[in-house]
Amino acid sequence: MEPERGSPQASLSDLFSILQDPKEMLIMSIQCSKKLDQAFRRLLPFSLALLLGTSGTATAASVNTTGLAVTDTTVTVGDLHSATGTMAISEIGSIQAEMLAIDQINAAGGVLGRKIEVIKEDGASDWPTFAEKARKLLVKDKVAAVFGCWTSASRKAVLPVFEKENGLLYYPTFYEGLEQSKNVIYTGQEATQQIIAGLDWMAKEKGAKTFFLIGSDYIWPRTSNKIARKHIENVLKGKVVGEEYYPLGHTNFRTLINKVKAAKPDVIYSIVVGGSNVSWFKQLKAAGITGDKANLLTISTTEDEVKGIGGENVLGFYSAMKYFQSLDNANNKAFVQAFKTKYGADSVIGDVTQAAYLGPWLWKAAVEKAGSFDVDKVAAASPGIELNTAPEGYVKVHPNHHLWSKLRIGKWKKDGQVDVIYESGLIEPNPFPEGYQ
C-alpha cells in the first residue's frame, strides 16, 4: 500500500546540509508546517482523502521516475482545446468541465497529495497547431497528462506526438472508433456504443424499416453511417433509402430535404455537426418535417447545439448518446449544480462536456491505483478503473482504453432539454467491430 520512499541516506545527508544553512532551515520548516496543514485538511472530508493523506508524504522522485513536472506539492497537467476559431463553440464546454473537475479534485486534496496545476494551450481550431502545442506540453512542460482535443482531425494530428513522446491524453468526444492507443484514454463513446442500441430501439419501438442517413462530410459521420448501414441491412433487415454528406458549415439543405421527402424514410438518421445544425433543423421545420410527423434520430445534436438551434426547431426529435443534462440521479444533480454555480445559471451541459469532466477523475483514480505519475504505470493501471461518481452513472475503463457506458435516448422538448425515454444496459466498447467494416 505505502509507496517506497527515497533512500534514508540521501535524506539524512540532505538534512545535514540544510542544518548548516539557517535560511534553508527556515524555508524547510515553513514547508513542513504547510504540508502538515495540508495533510490535516485532507484527513477531514472523506475516507478517500485519508488514503491520500498518507501516500501524500511520498517524495516526488518515487512517484515520478520519468522526469515529469511533479514536485512534492504539485503536479502539472495540460489542457489542449480550441479556445479560439471555429471549434471554440464546441470545445469551450469541455475546457470548463475539465477545469471544474480539477478544481474539485484540488479542493478534495489533489492527486497523491499534490495539487494539480494546469497549463492551458489553445489549439485554435487548427490541427497543426494542436500538434505543435501537444509537443510543447510534453517536451517542454513535461506534463503528467493532457486533457484535450475534440475533433477527430485534432486527435489524429496529436496522436503520433503522444505516442512518440509517451504522453497521456484523455479524449472526451464521441468518435468513430477504429483506433486504440496505449497513450490515449477515450472518455466518450466509440461509434458502435452510440449507434447500435439506438437503431435497435427505433426498429422495435417505431417499427422502422427504412432509413435515410445524413452526415457532415468527414470521418466520424461517414464511419458511423457505415456501421449504421451494416446494422440496418444485416441485423435489422431494413433498408437504407439514401445516404448524403454535406461540407462542414453548409447552410442550404433544401435540396437534401427534397431528396428525403422523395424517399419517404421511416427514420431520418442525422449526423450533422456544428453550425450546420441550425440551418438543417430550421429548414426541416420550414419544410414541414417536424417531430409529430417524422422520426428523426441524431447522434450529433446535444444540449449545446440545441441552445443555438432553438428547442422549438427540434421539438419531438430524438437524440441517442450516453449523457443528457436532465438525467435524474444524485451524481448528475450535484454536477449540474456545481457547473451552473461556476459558469452561470444559463449554461448547458452536453454529452461531450460530461465526458470531459470524467477525464481528470479517471486520471486521478488511475494515478492512485498505480501509486505513480509515470505514464506507463498510469496507462497500465487504467483498465478496470471504476467511477461510481460519474454524472452519467457508473463507468469502467475497458482494457482497450475506452469506457463501458450506457446509451440513452432523449426526446427533445421546447426548453432545449430532453425527456430520457430509454436507457440501455452497460455496453462494451468495441472500437474495431467485426462485421461492421
Partner 1 sequence: MSETTSAEFFATLLMQGFAGISLFSVLLLMALGLAIIFGQMGVINMAHGEFMAIGSYTTYILSVLASEQGWLDIYFPFSLIAAFIVAGVAGYLLEIVLIRHLYQRPLDTLLATWGVSLILQQIFRSVFGAREVSPELPEWIMGSVQPGEGIDIPVNGLFVLGLAGLVTAGVALMMFRSRWGLQVRATSQNRLIAGAVGIDTQQVDRITFALGCGLAGVAGAAFTTIASTGPTSGSLYIVDTFLVVVFGGAASMVGTLASAFTIGQAQSILEFLMTGSMAKVLTLVTVVGLLMMRPEGLFTAKVRR
Partner 2 sequence: MTSLLEYYRRIPASWRGLLILALVLLVVFPLLMGSFRLNLVGKYLCFAYVALGLVLAWGYGGILSLGQGVFFGLGGYCMAMYLKLEASDPVSTAIQSTPGIPDFMDWNQLTELPWFWEPFHNLPFTLLAILVLPTLFAYVLSLAMFRRRVGGVYFAIITQAVALILSTLIIGQQGYTGGVNGITDLKTLEGWDIRTDAAKTVLYFVCCGLLIVCIVASQFILKSKLGLLLVAMRDKEERVRFSGYSVADLKVFVFCVAALFSAIGGALFTLQVGFMSPSFVGIVPSVEMVIFAAVGGRLSLVGAIYGCLMVNFGKTYFSEAFPELWLFLMGGLFIGIVMFFPNGMAGLFQSGGRESLKQLWRGLIHMRHHDRPSPRVDEASLDSSLEPRS
Residues near partner 1 (CB under 8 A): 84-86, 88-89, 92, 210, 217, 239, 241, 244-247, 249-252, 254-259, 261-264, 275, 278-279, 282-283, 285-288, 307-310, 313
Grid coordinates given for 131: 500538434
Residue 402 near residue 429, CB atoms below 8 Å:
yes
Partner whose footprint covers residue 288, from partner 1, partner 2, none (CB < 5 to 8 Å by kind): partner 1
CA-CA-CA-CA dihedral for 190, 191, 194, 200, to nearest 10: -140
From the CB of 140, what's the least distance to partner 2, in Å?
A: 6
| CB of residue 269 to partner 1, shortest distance in Å | 16
The smaller minimum CB distance to partner 1, of residues 72 and 244, is found at 244
Per the CB < 8 A criterion, the answer to whether 166 and 410 are in contact is no
160 binds, among partner 1, partner 2, none (CB under 5 to 8 A by kind): partner 2
Closer Cβ to partner 2, 157 or 260, answer by number: 157
From the list partner 1, partner 2, none, partner contacted by residue 131 (C-beta under 5 to 8 A by kind): partner 2
Identity of the amino acid at 167: G
Question: Which of helix, strand or coil describes residue 350?
Answer: coil
89 binds, among partner 1, partner 2, none (CB under 5 to 8 A by kind): partner 1
Closer residue to partner 2 (CB): 274 or 371:
274
Residue 358's H or E segment, with its range, is helix 351-370
User: What's the min distance (Å) between Cβ of 343 and partner 1?
Assistant: 12
Separation of alpha carbons 347 and 303, rounded Å: 10
The listed partner (partner 2, partner 1, none) that binds 164, CB under 5 to 8 Å by sort, is partner 2
User: Out of partner 1, partner 2, none, which partner does residue 128 contact, by CB within 5 to 8 A per kind?
Assistant: partner 2
The residues that touch partner 2, with contacts defined as CB under 8 A, are 83-84, 121-122, 124, 126-129, 131-132, 135-136, 139-140, 151-153, 156-157, 159-160, 164, 176, 178, 217-219, 222-223, 226, 245, 247-248, 432, 437
Of 334, 295, 330, 238, the closest CA to residue 412 belongs to 295
State the residue for C-alpha cell 511520498: 58
Cell 464511419 belongs to which residue?
223
**Nearest alpha-carbon partner for 296 in 328, 276, 272:** 272
Distance between CA atoms of residues 352 and 150, nearest Å: 9
